[in-house]
Amino acid sequence: MEIQALKQILQENGIVGAGGAGFPTYAKLDERAEIILMNCAECEPLLKLHRQLLEQHCEEILKTFDGIARTVGAKEAVIGIKREYKAAVKAIDRYIDAYPNMRIQLLDSAYPMGDEVVLIYEATGRVIRPGGLPIEEGVAVFNVETLYNAFRALEQQTPVMDKLVTVVGEVEHPLTVRVPIGAFIGDVVAYAGGIRVKNPAYLVGGPMMGNLAEESDVVTKTTNAIIVLDRTHVLIQRKNRNAAIDLNRAAASCCQCETCTSLCPRHMLGHPIEPHKFMRSAANKDFQDTNVFLNTLFCSSCGLCENFSCPQGLSPRSLIADYKLGLRKAGVKPPAVASAPVSKAREYRKAPEERLEARLGLSKYDVDAPLQPDGYWKGERQIHKVKIPLSQHIGAPAVPVVEKGAEVSCGQCIAKPAEGLSVAIHSSVDGKVREVTDKYIVIVCN
């Protein structure tokens, strides 16, 4: 298939990165890609869906992965997967011999192995410059569910209208379930049975980089997990932070041990992000060295510094995020800098995921969350209404093409791509359009 034809199919079917920021997949197709990389590292603890999906649909995913490699003219297709995912690795071994230019790269169970920059180095040895894009080094990365969505679009003419979500934590029956885009968080959690705590909080996306959500928030194309925890849990307390208090605590307690910097995954790869220097300057309002603040733009916000590294329990990641947001709002862009050499100590400074889970008080939640069959959501606890955001991806929001009162069917395009970087949005249910705004479309199921 020609690259432009493939791009059009992916854009029209609404395919974006099924996790992270949701970068439109069509925009990643580039003839400069010498290597394409499949991400099956499940960056966040407790997530299950990528390994489960690869285990059950390996043949379809590998076929699509190879097709994309041939379309862009890549010399090699690499599957980055943690060696502990034995069932998924076994599934790959069954089919990979059919693809001579494809290989497996087994990965350590360390966090954040699924971070794009870290994964590229582990799987290819190539270093992405600070603030750079993978394609500059001839690499394009796709996660497992994104590739499966591409398969569905190419082979089944099915757009992205649903999402696999792992539901774990304080629930009776942890599971992974495919639900309609726009389903409410409360409705999705109900599929996991009763909640075991009186005052639950919902962490959406993962324990490290996820955000707090309410029952009335909705599933999007990038929602990978919903973690139900008691509101007193340390992770929930940290998410309900106060920036002023964080700064005061840094001023009072930061001993400049440099552990946050020594264990920073991006710093170990030569990026000029040094959280300990930032903490010192921010806490003391010392703005003499502006590079300390400008270099926060290279932080990946993985959260390792504040959830694992800091012996004082301080919040460098959160404070850095505040400063990054302020810089971006002011129109400040990352400075052009080169990478330093990869640290020789890097191999000895990886954060074991098992130890991270224990530190966060999550070990007891690392249990099986079986992948349910498609259509499971149509059982006893049917979803009766969806609220579909028009911006579920990096780039411009999609433009509605339906009006209030219209009858729509599952898979029908309800918003077309906007000018520039954008993808289409599709109805996830059969029903009637109740509300159309410039931000979302509400549909009541038939």
Q: How far is CA 159 from the centre of its chain?
A: 20
219 closest CA partner among 382, 372, 388, 52: 388
User: The whole model's pTM is what?
Assistant: 0.95
List of the chain residues with pLDDT < 70: 379-381
How far apart (Å, rounded) are the C-alpha atoms in residues 404 and 352? Answer: 51
Which pLDDT value is given to residue 43?
Answer: 84
> Torsion angle of alpha carbons 206, 210, 212, 217, nearest 10°?
-90
Q: What is the pLDDT of residue 21?
A: 84
Question: Is domain 3-156 classified as CATH 3.30.479.10?
Answer: no
> Left if phi > 0, otherwise alpha if psi is -120 to 50, otherwise beta: which for 443?
beta
Under DSSP, the state recorded for 227 is E
* Contact criterion met (CB below 8 Å) for 121 and 269: yes
CA atoms within 13 A on the CB side of 239: 22
Q: CA-CA distance, 434 to 440, in Å (whole number)?
A: 11
Mean pLDDT rounded to a whole number for the chain = 95
pLDDT at residue 212 in the model: 96
Is the domain 161-233+361-380 a CATH 3.40.50.720 member? no
Q: What is the pLDDT of residue 446?
A: 84
What would the pLDDT profile of 314-349 be if each residue is shown by its tens digit? 999 999 999 999 999 999 998 899 889 999 999 999
CATH class of the 384-446 domain in this structure: mainly beta
- Cα–Cα distance measured from residue 48 to residue 176, given in angstroms and rounded to the nearest whole number: 7
According to the model, what pLDDT value does residue 380 have? Answer: 56
Cβ within 8 Å of residue 100, ≥6 positions away: none
How many CB atoms sit inside 10 A of residue 299's CB?
Answer: 22
Domain boundaries, the chain: 3-156, 161-233+361-380, 243-354, 384-446
- Report the distance separating Cα 402 and Cα 230, nearest Å: 40
CB neighbours of 4 closer than 8 A, spacing ≥ 6? none
Handedness of CA 352, 356, 358, 359 (dihedral sign): positive
Q: What's residue 381's pLDDT?
A: 60
Name the phi and psi angles at 108, rounded to 5: -70, 155
pLDDT tens across 349-389, in order? 999 999 999 999 999 999 999 999 887 777 656 789 999 99
